[in-house]
């Protein structure tokens, strides 16, 4: 990936205060992009911004569960930069509780941040993105968009839903030159498990209990930047667990056997 691909381009990253979003901020800043960093925690966004090289990032605190904030946020981007080249819908929230125990309010909260948030923000930003004629909308989805595993029912549902909406959008905006890319990571070493919601909505507050701890967030960023440059529709990134997608599709009974074996061994 050459530096010139993103030099001077305006890139908006949600969930930029930690994990994959933070690593993406560093990668895009090294590539010379002008950044907008969003998330709820302005102090953490400022910390990430201070560690970026290149142009000083624009910190724009935004809660994805508050759709009324989307249009004013886009207006701020328009006023500050006059354009938007790449929107990375990365923010997300995990789940660690059985389907039967999960309160409906918790299921809705997960859908709000993981599905309605990216959908609403993308719709609000579309006129600005389309005006450029060659931009990209990136969505950090998950391998869980293709499989369901225990304790992650609403999370898996939210990621499945993203694919239906953004696959449709891709075909609608293709003639106008806008690119839509779905990124499906496997396990990545971030705070997703600590921040995941339990049945009542409290944070799980425990690091990943999977022995497959996953790749470092920085290992995802190169693949994501390359996917934008090459205008890929969808990519899988991570360790061997990403093969779950193909196993489920081409050998579903083998996948079910492997999953149940992993569950019995305490891997979920």
- Residue 185 found at the interface with ligand NAP (CB under 6 A): yes
Please pick, from the candidates 15, 57, 120, 135, the single residue that binds ligand NAP as defined by CB under 6 A. Answer: 15
Q: Which of 98, 97, 93 lies closest to 113 in space, CA to CA?
A: 93
CA–CA gap between residue 155 and residue 261 (Å, rounded): 22
- Residue 169 found at the interface with ligand NAP (CB under 6 A): no
The answer to whether residue 174 is catalytic is: no
Other beta carbons less than 10 A from residue 131's beta carbon:
13
CB of 263 to ligand NAP, least distance (A): 18
- Residue 195 found at the interface with ligand NAP (CB under 6 A): yes
CB of 160 to ligand NAP, least distance (A): 12
**Which one of 5-13, 62-70, 167-175, 246-254 is the stretch in contact with ligand NAP (CB under 6 A)?**
62-70
- Residue 97 found at the interface with ligand NAP (CB under 6 A): no
CB of 166 to ligand NAP, least distance (A): 13
Question: Of 26-45, which residues contact ligand NAP (CB under 6 A)?
Answer: 39-41, 44
CA–CA gap between residue 16 and residue 25 (Å, rounded): 7
Please pick, from the candidates 26, 29, 34, 90, the single residue that binds ligand NAP as defined by CB under 6 A. Answer: 90
Please pick, from the candidates 190, 225, 241, 262, the single residue that binds ligand NAP as defined by CB under 6 A. Answer: 190
CA–CA gap between residue 210 and residue 151 (Å, rounded): 12
- Residue 135 found at the interface with ligand NAP (CB under 6 A): no
DSSP per-residue codes, 129-186: HHHHSS-EEEEE--GGGT---TT-HHHHHHHHHHHHHHHHHHHHHGGGT-EEEEEEE-
Does residue 77 contact residue 14 with C-beta atoms inside 8 Å?
no
Contacts with ligand NAP: how many residues (CB under 6 A)? Answer: 30
Between the alpha carbon of residue 194 and those of residues 28, 59, 140, 263, the distances in Å are: 26, 24, 19, 20
CB of 4 to ligand NAP, least distance (A): 27
CA–CA gap between residue 215 and residue 56 (Å, rounded): 28
Write down the catalytic residue from 115, 155, 174, 187: 155
What is the C-alpha end-to-end distance of the chain, expressed in Å? 36
State which residue, 2 or 33, has the beta carbon closest to ligand NAP: 33
Instruction: Return all residues near 200 (Cβ < 8 A) that are at least 6 apart.
Output: 103, 106
State which residue, 43 or 171, has the beta carbon closest to ligand NAP: 43
CB of 66 to ligand NAP, least distance (A): 8
Per-position b or e across 35-63, b if 16+ CB within 10 A of its CB: bbbbbeebebbeebbeebebeebbbbbbb
Active site members? 155
> What residues line the site for ligand NAP (CB under 6 A)?
14-15, 17-21, 39-41, 44, 62-65, 90-93, 113, 140, 142, 185, 187-188, 190-192, 195, 214
């Amino acid at each position: 990936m050459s530096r010139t691909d993103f030099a001077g381009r305006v890139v908006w990253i949600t969930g930029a205060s930690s994990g994959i979003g933070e690593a993406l901020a560093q990668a895009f800043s090294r590539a010379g992009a002008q950044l907008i960093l969003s998330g709820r925690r302005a102090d953490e966004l400022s910390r990430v911004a201070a560690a970026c090289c290149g142009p000083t990032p624009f910190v724009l605190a935004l809660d994805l569960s508050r759709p009324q904030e989307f249009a004013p946020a886009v207006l701020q981007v328009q006023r500050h930069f006059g354009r938007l080249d790449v929107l990375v819908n990365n923010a997300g929230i995990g789940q660690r509780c059985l389907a039967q125990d999960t309160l409906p309010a918790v299921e809705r909260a997960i859908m709000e941040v993981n599905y309605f948030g990216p959908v609403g923000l993308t719709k609000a930003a579309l006129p600005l993105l389309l005006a450029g004629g060659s931009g990209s909308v990136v969505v950090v989805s998950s391998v869980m968009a293709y499989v369901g595993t225990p304790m992650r029912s609403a999370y898996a549902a939210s990621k499945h839903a993203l694919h239906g909406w953004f696959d449709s959008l891709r075909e609608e905006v293709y003639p106008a030159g806008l690119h839509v890319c779905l990124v499906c990571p496997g396990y990545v070493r971030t705070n997703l498990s600590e921040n995941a919601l339990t049945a009542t909505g409290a944070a799980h507050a425990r690091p990943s209990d999977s022995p497959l701890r996953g790749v470092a967030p920085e290992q995802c960023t190169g693949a994501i930047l390359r996917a934008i440059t090459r205008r890929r529709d969808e990519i899988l990134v991570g360790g061997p667990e990403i093969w779950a997608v193909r196993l489920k599709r081409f050998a579903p009974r083998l996948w079910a056997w492997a999953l149940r074996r992993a569950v019995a061994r305490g891997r979920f």
